[in-house]
Structure 1
Amino acid sequence: MPKVKKSNRIAERREGPTKNQQQSKAKRGQSVNRDTSETVEKSPEVDHVVGNTKPCPESGAATNAAKLGLSDDEICKAEIEAWFVGSSIVKRAFVAARDRPGGLSLGLQRLGINMWWQGKGGMIWTDMYKKIKTLLKVNEKPQYLIMHCAANDMGKTKLKELIENVKTTLGKIQLLLPDTKIIWSQLLPRRKWRYSEYVNAMNKSLKRLNSSIAAELVRKGGGYIKYPDIKSNDELLFDRDGVHLSEKGTEIFLNSICAAIEQFSKTGILVYPKPLLVLNQVYCSCGMWQGLGLRNYPSACIHFHHVDECAC
């Protein structure tokens, strides 16, 4: 290879890179620019995905949305949270709700309502306050808190003591959730009781418990869900154990809950079924009742100042 004089090499540096060197550098530049452009184009997509990873408030929302013809975004925009906390009755209702057309929120998504089910088998009333505090660690305060618990305490704890315990705990929960509507879900009658063989006597005591707690809650601005179609003498509504509901009974239970929450959200009347009392041509549908010594009036009542004047 012939030697290039030093003077010629100096001249080439001054003139700049040769044509071959320019082409090689251009190719390297194109490669770098192409990689860079791909990175720039992809980065907005990554930012978009990260910015929309907010979890949907309802598990299984995609399935429910598909069943109702709603998008996941519509489900996630729900503004009203309703918690249903209680014993195995709630747990079994949750399992049944998953297979219904309305899904876990019972079709109430159309009203912007999300249901959050928290059922625990064998739950007793002393578990309730601790359970609520635990739930508040992982979720925002709900608009509605529906409680179905204390039937497992019947026969184990004296009725008067149990009523006082429930009222005391409800007071603590109301302080914890001052802006939440607290709803008492009527404890269901049973065909068999664990701590007593006197079924009728136990069911009568259960009515007293329901009436007392419902009256206390409604008086303080809470609510009450009754299940008038579920009666202990209808064996088709109960499982073989005489405690839990059958498939038919669970359907009635879920339908009542759905109708009750819809009524609450639309009318503000927090007693279901909505009462309609007639007193001297005065109609009251507010759920505020008072026992006036009249046999036909509900025992779960609050107050009327006079026979013809509703307290609401």
Structure 2
Amino acid sequence: MESLMKLLLNRASEEDGEAWLRRCLEPATASEDEEEASCSTSQRTSAGQWVDEPAEERYPRRGMATRRSSPAAAGTEDAAVDENMAAEVGGGQSGGRTGGKRAASSRSPASSGRRGGTKKPATQAKKGGPSPVEVPRPPSVVRNQQPAVGQANKLQNSAVQSESMDRASQQGAGGPPVADLHRTVWILGHSFIHWAHKRATHRPYTVNLSLQPESFRVLWKGVRGLQWHQLHFHLSRLLQVWPPPSILVLHLGGNDLGNLRTVDLLSCIKRDLGRFHAISPNTVIIFSEIVPRLAWLSSDMRRVMERMRKRVNRAMEKFMPTIGGLSYRHIDLEGGVPGFYTSDGVHFSEIGLDLFNLGLQSSIEMAVVVGVGRA
């Protein structure tokens, strides 16, 4: 302490020492805030003890904390202030005089202390002296949240894309089967289904009957001359080869008219459809009603055959809702227009096949409304 007092007396005895001492003791102005930080904030009594100044004298204007420093530290801060002023003069050439003044006036004693390179104010302060007030820094958490959320979204999107690419690669390379999201539709019947399938392969509506390929996959099975008692055999084989159907469309029974009694035919139809519904309760069964013909191979009595056809269709219309299915009537073909048939009067012409396929498409769309969501 004696050495510090000697340095202080030597500095005061110099040529400009008295003016320097007055600047240290006088209240600081706006331009001398940085020099005030280097001055001592305590006075020494005649007894050699340190007495803290009142808070009003230590912080004359702003009430901000200043740190007690030695003359050597004050000289270091003066050099740092001169260096910063030189940097501001250099920046003022490009930014103008206004920017330099604003930067100089915004500096505070606390910030000048930080520029001086002292980062431990608690160790520099004397014991029993006032602890400096720390200015809290603004939180930076809010600023960092947005990039974190964006990074998480990017990672999630990349994971979804990689998963979809893995599924596609597995399917293309013959890997393990991936869960099929299609609604599988079976269309099974006699020669009408056989020729309708061939017609669909050459038409714009395709074999999928204008249904969305992402949602439906239509599978055809047409057996020429098929009768009802052969249905069980074909269904058993298809269940071993094809995926289970969400919708089953059956166009069958026309070849049985005239060969069986109407009562016996209806009994067989209801029995087989009831069994299939018990095996696959989530499948919607569509009974495609028997359409009229200009000529019947089993009988020459066209009017009698027409009455039998209508009787079967009415009975199936009442029965199908009991097993959760539906009966679809091809209204456009009910008139028996000769242009809809070929020369044999049994099979459909190209126009008739297009109308028939349009009816099959409508029946599948109706099945979606009835209950395909049960699967």
TM-score (norm: length of structure 2): 0.51
Deviation at 1:144, TM superposition (A): 0.3
Conserved in 2, the CA contact under 8 Å of 1:185 and 1:226? yes
Deviation at 1:264, TM superposition (A): 2.7
Conserved in 1, the CA contact under 8 Å of 2:342 and 2:349? yes
Deviation at 1:225, TM superposition (A): 1.4
Name the SS for the 2:286 alignment partner. Answer: strand
* Equivalent-residue separation in structure 1 for 2:313 and 2:275 (angstroms): 19
* Equivalent-residue separation in structure 1 for 2:234 and 2:211 (angstroms): 25
* Equivalent-residue separation in structure 2 for 1:78 and 1:94 (angstroms): 24
* Equivalent-residue separation in structure 2 for 1:110 and 1:52 (angstroms): 18
Deviations 1:134-171 (A, max 9, x none): 10001221100010111101111111111111111111
The structure with the largest alpha-carbon Rg is: 2
Partner of 1:102: 205
Deviations 1:35-72 (A, max 9, x none): xxxxxxxxxxxxx86653459xxxxxxxxxxxxxxxxx
Query: Matched residues, percent identical?
Result: 26
Deviations 1:102-127 (A, max 9, x none): 21101202561111110000000011
Q: Does 1:254 align with 2:357?
A: yes
How many residues are aligned here?
205
Partner of 2:276: 173
Partner of 2:292: 189
Partner of 1:52: 172
Conserved in 1, the CA contact under 8 Å of 2:324 and 2:371? no
Alpha-carbon distance change, 79 to 208 in structure 1, aligned in 2, over 3 angstroms? same
Structure that is richer in strand per residue: 1
Name the SS for the 2:343 alignment partner. Answer: coil
* Equivalent-residue separation in structure 2 for 1:262 and 1:123 (angstroms): 26
Conserved in 2, the CA contact under 8 Å of 1:129 and 1:173? no
Conserved in 1, the CA contact under 8 Å of 2:284 and 2:371? no
Deviation at 1:260, TM superposition (A): 2.5
* Equivalent-residue separation in structure 2 for 1:259 and 1:215 (angstroms): 19
Name the SS for the 1:85 alignment partner. Answer: strand
Alpha-carbon distance change, 51 to 91 in structure 1, aligned in 2, over 3 angstroms? closer
Q: Does 1:135 align with 2:238?
A: yes
Name the SS for the 2:332 alignment partner. Answer: coil
* Equivalent-residue separation in structure 1 for 2:336 and 2:207 (angstroms): 29
Which runs of no fewer than 5 residues in structure 2 stay unpaired? Answer: 1-167
TM-score (norm: length of structure 1): 0.61
Letter in 2 for 1:211: R
Partner of 2:305: 202
Deviation at 1:232, TM superposition (A): 5.0
Letter in 2 for 1:229: D
Name the SS for the 2:366 alignment partner. Answer: helix
> 144-153 or 209-218: which moved more?
209-218
Out of 169, 175, 187, the residue aligned to residue 84 of structure 1 is: 187
Q: Does 1:268 align with 2:370?
A: yes
